[in-house]
Structure 1
Amino acid sequence: MPASRRLVLVGGLAAAGCSSLAVTAGGVRRMDPALDGVVTPDARLERLASGFTWSEGPVWIAEGAYLLFSDVPENRIHRWSRAGGLSVFMAPSGYDGPDPSVFREPGSNGLIAGPAGTILMADHGNRAIARVDLATQVKTLLATHYRGARFNSPNDLVQASNGAIFFTDPPYGLKDMDRSPLKEMAENGVYRLDPDGGVHRLVDDLTFPNGVALSPDQRTLYVSVSDPARPVLMAYELDGAGGIRGGRVFKDFAALAGPSAPGLPDGMAVDRDGRLFATGPGGVHVLTPDGRSLGLIDTAGAAANCTFGEDGRTLFITAGDRLLRLETLTRG
């Protein structure tokens, strides 16, 4: 396992049922005056719940007004709402077979809203992209293979307006990762799953592709690379058919990574103006569409992912053992 997105997990965590609105350590660091139009200088980072092993993949469910997020190693999806607090929504969320020992992370990872009444899931344990009915929790596997080979462990996903799903496939779910005997392909790729079920590999040269997002105009695909040797956020130009025209380093986090800024590039959210809220060393980095750093939401520990919810201005952050919330001035 690279010295990576699991850097700061520690023992002695509070029980996962513990919920609090306490202001957490960290806060907002302003790097550019333009941040004041995105997050107020006195914005408070609140801890909503803690005690998770590795929280990930948050998605806001507007119909019902609640948040779902994964605890990937524990093979669970949790639910949180203002009215009901914290509860377990789905367990197991991923692998439900007889031998979980072949996985280091058997649960669901990235979650996004799907067609009405469903979510779409990057399912580590089933090594698949799946759809889950929220009412019945019935799971349908949408894609499990590329050219006859099983995926490694799909990690994160985003859906375009035409229904295509872009997703990453690092080996994080497998025990021994790249050395796992279950790994059927050498590449850790980035893929597109079309509505007709066709699967296309778009990128095959990234070591640990992780988070994925689309720009508001859907012309740019962002992919984070959680490799301590090359912690970067990539941007790929998309053609009209959803293919890749070219890639470039959008943000290089190498100079920021270290013991005082735990975490690596992972999940991200995009606001309506195209700004990225990208997890990386130290927390969540607020970046303009041209890559300028406006500020850092310091989560006092590694952050895994984030999403907008409630009225669209609330940023929910999954940060290792914690679920955090920050009110912003923008909308997702």
Structure 2
Amino acid sequence: MTEVLLDGLVIGESARWHDGRLWCANWGTQEILAIAPDGKREVMARVDTTLPFSLDWLPDGRLLVVSGQEGLLLRQEPSGELVVHADLSSYGGLNELVVDGRGNIYVNGGGSFAPAEGERPGFILLITPDGTVRRVADELAFPNGMVITPDNGTLVIAESFARTLTAYDVLPDGGLINRRVWAAHSGDGMCMDADGAIWTPGFTEAGPSCLRIAEGGEVLETVPLEHFGFACALGGQTLYILTADWNLEESFEDNLNRLLATPTGRILTHPAPVTPAGFPRA
């Protein structure tokens, strides 16, 4: 049964389970929130940006934040201050990130909210633990959420405007090869479970949903949603789904202004059959 844990967000994004709480970016407010299982929320950081911004953690526990429009990867120090971990502004706008089990950071960007037919400007950047930055994937149609398998061997990314989950093999040096279709489904912020399935917001003929998808494309479970889904995360065997009343017929600016005036963002909970696996780490 799907239940509302929390409402009153503008747009909840970049869902992560960390230290017993759900963390997310609250787009439109500059806030990074941590939400307890009882719905109590706490502001953990404020990001001096508009949107997008997203989050994950270094292996040593320090918070990382992508400040998307500025093209910056930020790091939160023990004092709470956000400092520049990597200046990626020369690559253009950024969107999502994921940190693997070896401390490699993958950041994607280059998407467009109104792409021309066939336009695929998106990319994935790799930032290694020694600070080296290199471009490891190109020609993505609005890159969005990413997951990495528990063995650090496969990265899957949602190409939102291609309605495809795309997989790469991960080389020992962090590079990406062997691009292929993991599943022919739309996706956004996503997570992997212990069976190797991916949960991600998407669409069915009935409307917006959160889907549990097996490699190859079989839909194992469908959770119908009232509003557009932006991201999801597993905390144990509870699935957390972030939604907001987004209208695909409206412009980006009109949607955001409407949601700022009347916040409809929600965090929903739904029972899941198995626990999380892989990265983002839960």
Instruction: Assess same fold via TM > 0.5.
Output: yes
Quick one: distance in 2 between partners of 1:61 and 1:94? Answer: 23
Q: Indicate the residue corresponding to 2:43 in structure 1.
A: 88
The residue correspondences of 1:176-255 to structure 2 (distance < 5 A) are 187-227=121-161, 230-253=162-185
Q: Indicate the residue corresponding to 2:108 in structure 1.
A: 168
- The code of the aligned residue for 2:194 comes to R
Q: Secondary structure, in 3 states, of the residue corresponding to 1:150?
A: helix
Relative distance call for 1:136 and 1:125 in structure 2 (3 A) is farther
Quick one: distance in 2 between partners of 1:82 and 1:319? Answer: 17
Shift of 1:107: 4.1
Q: Percent identity?
A: 24
Shift of 1:110: 2.3
Relative distance call for 1:208 and 1:286 in structure 2 (3 A) is same
Of residues 57, 63, 67, the one that matches 1:123 is 67
Q: Indicate the residue corresponding to 1:315 in structure 2.
A: 239
Q: Indicate the residue corresponding to 2:217 in structure 1.
A: 291
What's the TM-score once normalised by structure 2's chain length? 0.79
Q: Indicate the residue corresponding to 2:4 in structure 1.
A: 47
- The code of the aligned residue for 1:46 comes to E
Residues 1:66 and 2:6 are matched in the alignment: no
Kindly indicate whether the alpha-carbon contact (under 8 Å) linking 1:221 and 1:238 is maintained by their aligned counterparts in 2.
Answer: yes
- The code of the aligned residue for 1:168 comes to N
Relative distance call for 1:144 and 1:187 in structure 2 (3 A) is farther
Q: Deviations over 1:233-290 (max 9, x none)?
A: 111122222222211122223xxxxxxxxxx521110112211112222222111234
Quick one: distance in 1 between partners of 2:115 and 2:87? Answer: 18
Q: Deviations over 1:75-104 (max 9, x none)?
A: 22223114571343333x242xxxxxxxxx
Q: Indicate the residue corresponding to 1:143 in structure 2.
A: 86
Q: Indicate the residue corresponding to 1:37 in structure 2.
A: none
Quick one: distance in 2 between partners of 1:223 and 1:142? Answer: 23
Equivalenced residues, count = 249
Q: Indicate the residue corresponding to 1:259 in structure 2.
A: none
Shift of 1:178: 7.6
Q: Secondary structure, in 3 states, of the residue corresponding to 1:303?
A: strand
Relative distance call for 1:144 and 1:225 in structure 2 (3 A) is same
What's the TM-score once normalised by structure 1's chain length? 0.68
Q: Secondary structure, in 3 states, of the residue corresponding to 2:195?
A: coil
Shift of 1:222: 0.5
Q: Indicate the residue corresponding to 1:40 in structure 2.
A: none
- The code of the aligned residue for 1:289 comes to E
Larger Rg: 1
Moved more, 110-119 or 158-167: 110-119
Kindly indicate whether the alpha-carbon contact (under 8 Å) linking 2:168 and 2:180 is maintained by their aligned counterparts in 1.
Answer: yes
Structure 2: 5+ residue stretches without partners: 245-264, 277-282
